[in-house]
Homo-oligomer: A and B are copies of this chain.
Amino acid sequence: MTTTGELRVIPLHVHGEVRRGDSIVEKLLASAESQGLELVGGDILVVTHKIVSKAEGAVVRLDQVRPSTSSRRWAKRYALDARVVELGLSQARRVVRRKGGVLITETQHGFVCANSGVDVSNVDGGMSAVLLPRDPDRSAASLHREIKRRLGISVPVIIADTFGRPWREGLTEVAVGVAGMQVFRDFRTQRDQHGYRLKATLESVADELACAAGLVCGKLSGTPAAIVGGFSYTPGRGRAKQLIRPAKRDLFR
């Protein structure tokens, strides 16, 4: 039984590796079919960035990276891989903090995260690193279009990555690419049940959807995507770029 207003988050398993040039949509739809699922109108597809990066070839062999003396020193001091540090710096347009082995950067897209999102897990056992997609909003738009072409329906797509945050321990998922829906739910001009005008309530539903999907997308289990059903999103041209606070309005950069 589906209860009114119920949200459903369904993991999509993918067998085998995603390789450069693969169609992620084809793989995910095949996977859904084999699980007896189908994407329907109203669904949202959340995809972890890693398979998008892999399909786009945003993967770097670590033996091709020549770390600078400074990266080598820093890496040695904190028992890190100098090549991964070098890659992180190469993907940054600015270092936000660098302390105690933690490197927080602003990526070329504007995201603030650890080591520019460069990641060695779930790739090939430590030989290569995955970068963030070059333009994740564009990647999301491309997946969105491909679903429309194949199924004839408009399914919003969210590309998610796992970021840390200040003040709180533990990582959570965030949206790094979005297509087909608004990223915010905007209560700012509405009134609550008591007639009080809501002030600062701009809810980042794209990030919350990424988190909901993160609960079912294991880091270990070959589950790089999820279908979210039952969320009444607002269709539109939302982009994850809107989630980036401009540096000049940010109190913590």
| Residues of A bordering B, CB below 8 Å | 1, 3-11, 35-37, 97, 99, 102, 104, 111-112, 114, 120-126, 162, 164-174, 183-184, 187, 190-196, 198-209, 211-212, 214-216, 219-220, 222-223, 231, 242-245, 250-253
Q: What residues of chain B lie closer than 8 Å to A222, measured between beta carbons?
A: 193
CA distance A203 to B166 in the complex (A): 14
Write out the residue numbers on chain B whose beta carbons fall within 8 Å of the beta carbon of A184. 169-170
Q: Which residues of B contact A200 (CB under 8 A)?
A: 114, 164, 171
Separation of A125 and B194 alpha carbons in the complex (Å) = 5
Query: How many copies are assembled?
Result: 2
User: B5 and A251: CB pair below 8 A?
Assistant: no
In the assembly, what is the distance between CA of A196 and CA of B202, in Å?
39
Considering the chains assembled together, what is the distance between the CA atoms of A6 and B174 in angstroms?
A: 20
CB pair A97–B252 under 8 Å, yes or no, is yes
Task: Name the B residues within 8 Å of A126 (CB-CB).
Answer: 194, 196
